Amino acid sequence: MERTEAKKLLAENVSNRNIRSHSVAVAAIMEGLAEKLGGDKDTWWLTGILHDLDYEKTSTRIEKHGLETAELLEGKVAEEIIYAIKAHNGVHTGIGAKSNMDIALIASDALSGLIISTALIMPSKKLSEVTVESVMKKFKKKDFAKAVSREKIMTCQRLNLSQEEFLGIGLAALCKVSEEMGL
């Protein structure tokens, strides 16, 4: 699947602007991680952009989240993408992360929320004002962005990345797509 087709699928399946923006963010982080870890940048980007296609449809059936996207994508993308999408909701689907790409999706999904939340409290509400240090400080504040799983962010250690290095990769990636995200 080409990037333009993936973006079209995102637009067709996700009406909420915040979820679309989140998907763009996760795709960017995944691409940055692929570059760092030697993964295929296009495959990892596709995994990120497509991972929440069913989010709105499964919001009241969380155990189906990822599984319906997998059905939609069957035969259109590589099996490794489908597996990672199912595994990113492994707590509810029972499907565990196996590959670096699976782990990266889980960590990137959570990290995007922390970085975006940090940007939104800046005076300018822009990613350009966010630093790794500011994200690190917000990470430690459990009452900040409570819905963001710090545990999932820390799965970056399974990729042999320190927390600081992972936050840096994520922030740099999001800065590259800040205009597309409106941040």
- In the chain (183 residues long), the average pLDDT of successive 10-residue segments reads 97 97 98 98 99 96 96 98 97 96 98 97 96 97 96 97 98 97 91
Q: Tell me the two tokens of residue 35.
A: 């570059």
- What is the reported pLDDT for 2? 97
Distance CA 152, CA 110 (A): 6
- What is the reported pLDDT for 137? 97
Q: Give the three-state DSSP class for 121.
A: coil
**Helix, strand counts (H, E) of the chain:** 11, 0
Domains and CATH numbers, the chain: 3-178 (1.10.3210)
